[in-house]
């Protein structure tokens, strides 16, 4: 993943595609590849380049989603169904799209999963040495219409199959889930009212999948799905299904009478699930609940439940289920590719990450739509609403508290420096066994290295494989660094009618804008004022002053009265 403008540099994308194909080695000639992406800006250009370069390199066939559209889970499903060489996925996942945002190209191997480290390292090595690429510049292939086209290139046949983006994935979901039961749940039956959904595709790739599966197949109403048209810039939004970027879903769930809400990211592999009135199911709990109820899904009645896995940063709620069910539990480094070898070895049925990713061994990618269908299966099987399911789960297994915080657009250098310094500190011989204390309580710190299952490798990249815990009086104690404003903002939204306040401040027909002047006095309220009054309620930037917290409050006395706030009075 890089800025779109990087891929638009002369020869950049061509060189990268050639490097992927070269890395196939003796598997390149006569290979078959799946190609598709999330519909973001520059995707159509990239597909055209892939077709022309593949033709020149002896690839026998490309399976391309219509208009270049394929969700990441669908790519994995197609690779596995057709048993092909691999796939090229055009996505920057949950990151924003457009000419000034991000684009990405990744390679999935023949098992349908992300390329393992050895493959990606080889591709990177080739990119540092590449001098030329092969291309058929005049080859024109129409990817807007479903059908098969054949061409002769240097005496060999080259075929491009343009396919329905949804059909193979839909059939796979029908093999996994009991669609008639889910139809009955959603449409309602005697003694059971219709189960109302609200699904937000965030203008990402899942739009066509949502309309086909939830509306046409399961019978949800047209207004149960929103933002279902894939757009190159995702409608100007950040296609990340969380409480921040799917705030419109949260607000609609709070205001409406929907039973379950869901959002999916740009390429369809991440999901967020909400219960009635926007009851939030955090990803760690979601994984644990599904683990406890896999018997409600026909697929697992056939295959059996082999084991569970989670990434290292993910909350340990699923560990409790594994212990209760006497199943294997694996903890892996961050990266979905580390689940794949466990699945291929027949040791893993269900896995997930705290970054809103959940999936099973039906493919080798996380799968947002699969996760929501799984939740609907649990609701149908138990007859309980989402919130009650989760609260019953906590009562039976106990509750693990987990929160994720994202720090975006940070400069890499100081972040790397921080992690390097932390690594040095906790790895130093003199630090081992050091006791830390505060307020009469004490504990010791330790470092946990995360092993890649079945390989014995230790992941030493401390950016995501370093877990620092503290043991206090025999119990694990965790420190979460939180967004100082977000929880308070959500509380204010529960108390006050923000839309009415927005209308007051911005003005409306017959009512001029209501002008504010807020002085934070260089105190702690600065970030709160900017977030609530400026960003949320729509006040102008010059309506707030002294919003940067300073250690000495700018040399002033931070007491809001006529004397010390005289600058506001004036």
Whole-angstrom distance, CA of residue 137 vs CA of residue 150:
16
Nearest to 93 by CA among 389, 351, 357: 357
Residue keyed to tokens 């409608």? 235
Nearest to 526 by CA among 549, 551, 552: 549
Q: Is 533 helix (H, G, I), strand (E, B) or coil?
A: helix
Q: Are 40 and 7 in contact (CB under 8 A)?
A: no
Q: Are 387 and 315 in contact (CB under 8 A)?
A: no
Which pLDDT score is estimated for 478?
Answer: 47
Q: Are 297 and 177 in contact (CB under 8 A)?
A: yes
Which pLDDT score is estimated for 454?
Answer: 59
List all residues 6 or more positions away from 189 whose beta carbon is below 8 Å from its beta carbon: none
Question: Residue 254, CB half-sphere, CA atoms under 13 Å: how many?
Answer: 14
Which pLDDT score is estimated for 482?
Answer: 60
Q: Using the CB atoms, write b or e for 433-446: b if 16+ within 10 Å.
A: eeeeeeeeeebebe
Residue keyed to tokens 């990434």? 311
Q: Are 87 and 59 in contact (CB under 8 A)?
A: no
Which pLDDT score is estimated for 325?
Answer: 95
Whole-angstrom distance, CA of residue 60 vs CA of residue 30:
4
Nearest to 404 by CA among 491, 493, 478, 323: 478
State the angle between helix axes of 167-176 and 368-382 in degrees (0 to 180), rounded to the nearest 10: 30
Tell me which residues of the chain have a pLDDT lower than 50.
Answer: 456-480
DSSP-assigned beta bridge partners for residue 89: 36, 106
DSSP-assigned beta bridge partners for residue 81: none
Whole-angstrom distance, CA of residue 204 vs CA of residue 272:
14
Which pLDDT score is estimated for 415?
Answer: 84
Which pLDDT score is estimated for 468?
Answer: 39
Residues tagged active-site: 93
- Mind listing the domains of the chain with CATH numbers? 2-164 (3.40.120.10), 168-397 (3.40.120.10), 484-541 (3.40.120.10)
Which pLDDT score is estimated for 488?
Answer: 87
Whole-angstrom distance, CA of residue 209 vs CA of residue 225:
11
Which pLDDT score is estimated for 466?
Answer: 36
Which pLDDT score is estimated for 191?
Answer: 81
Which pLDDT score is estimated for 447?
Answer: 53
Helix locations, 108-264, DSSP H: 117-127, 167-176, 179-187, 207-210, 247-255
Q: Output the pTM of the full model.
A: 0.76
Q: Which secondary structure element, helix H or strand E, spans residue 502, and what is its range?
A: helix 498-506
Hey, what are 30's tokens?
């006569």
Distances in Å between the alpha carbon of 416 and those of 94, 202, 413, 458, 463? 23, 32, 5, 20, 7
**How many Å from the N-terminal Cα to the C-terminal Cα in the chain?**
51
DSSP-assigned beta bridge partners for residue 518: 544
């Amino acid at each position: 993943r890089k800025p779109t403008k990087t891929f638009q540099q002369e020869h950049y994308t061509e060189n990268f595609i050639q490097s992927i194909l070269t890395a196939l080695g003796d598997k390149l000639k006569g290979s078959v590849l799946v190609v598709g992406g999330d519909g973001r800006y520059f995707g159509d250009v990239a597909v055209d380049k892939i077709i022309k370069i593949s033709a020149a390199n002896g690839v026998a066939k490309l399976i391309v989603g219509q208009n270049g559209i394929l969700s990441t889970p669908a790519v994995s499903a197609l690779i596995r169904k057709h048993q092909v060489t691999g796939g090229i996925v055009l996505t920057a996942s949950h990151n924003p799209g457009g000419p000034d945002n991000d684009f990405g190209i990744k390679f999935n191997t023949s098992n349908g999963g992300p390329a393992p480290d050895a493959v990606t390292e080889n591709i990177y090595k080739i990119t540092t040495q590449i001098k030329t690429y092969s291309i058929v510049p005049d080859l024109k292939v129409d990817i807007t219409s479903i059908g098969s086209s054949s061409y002769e290139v240097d005496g060999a046949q080259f075929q491009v199959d343009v396919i329905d983006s949804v059909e193979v994935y839909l059939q796979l979901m029908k093999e996994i889930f009991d669609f008639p039961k889910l139809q009955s749940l959603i449409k309602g039956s005697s003694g059971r009212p219709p189960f109302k959904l609200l699904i937000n595709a965030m203008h990402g790739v899942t739009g066509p999948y949502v309309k086909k599966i939830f509306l046409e197949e399961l019978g949800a109403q047209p207004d149960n799905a929103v933002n279902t048209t894939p757009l190159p810039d995702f409608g100007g939004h950040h296609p990340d299904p969380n409480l921040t970027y799917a705030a419109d879903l949260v607000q609609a769930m709070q205001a409406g009478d929907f039973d379950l809400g869901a959002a999916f990211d740009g390429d369809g592999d991440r999901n967020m699930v909400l219960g009635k009135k926007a009851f939030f199911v955090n990803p760690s709990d979601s994984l644990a609940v599904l683990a406890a109820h896999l018997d409600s899904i026909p697929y697992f009645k056939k295959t059996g439940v082999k084991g569970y896995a989670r990434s290292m940063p993910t909350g340990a709620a699923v560990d409790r289920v594994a212990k209760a069910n006497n199943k294997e539990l694996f903890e892996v480094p961050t990266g979905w590719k580390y689940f794949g070898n466990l699945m291929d070895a027949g040791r893993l049925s269900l896995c997930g990450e705290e970054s809103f990713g959940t999936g099973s061994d039906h493919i080798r990618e996380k799968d947002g739509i699969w996760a929501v269908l799984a939740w609907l299966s649990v609701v149908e099987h138990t007859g309980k609403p989402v919130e009650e399911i989760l609260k019953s789960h906590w009562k039976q297994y106990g509750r693990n508290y987990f929160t994720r915080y994202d720090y975006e657009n940070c400069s890499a250098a100081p972040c790397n420096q921080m992690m390097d310094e932390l690594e040095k500190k906790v790895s130093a011989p003199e630090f081992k066994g050091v006791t830390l204390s505060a307020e009469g309580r004490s504990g010791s710190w330790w470092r946990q290295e995360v092993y890649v299952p079945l390989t014995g490798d230790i992941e030493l990249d401390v950016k995501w494989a370093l877990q620092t815990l503290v043991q206090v009086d025999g119990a694990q104690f965790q420190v979460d660094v939180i967004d100082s404003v977000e929880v308070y903002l959500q509380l204010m939204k529960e108390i006050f009618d923000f839309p009415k306040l927005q209308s007051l401040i911005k003005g409306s027909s017959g009512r001029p804008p209501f002008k504010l002047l807020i002085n934070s006095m260089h105190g702690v309220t600065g970030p709160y004022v900017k977030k609530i009054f400026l960003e949320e309620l729509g006040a102008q930037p010059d309506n707030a002053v002294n919003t940067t917290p300073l250690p000495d409050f700018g040399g002033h006395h931070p007491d809001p009265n006529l004397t010390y706030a005289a600058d506001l009075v004036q």
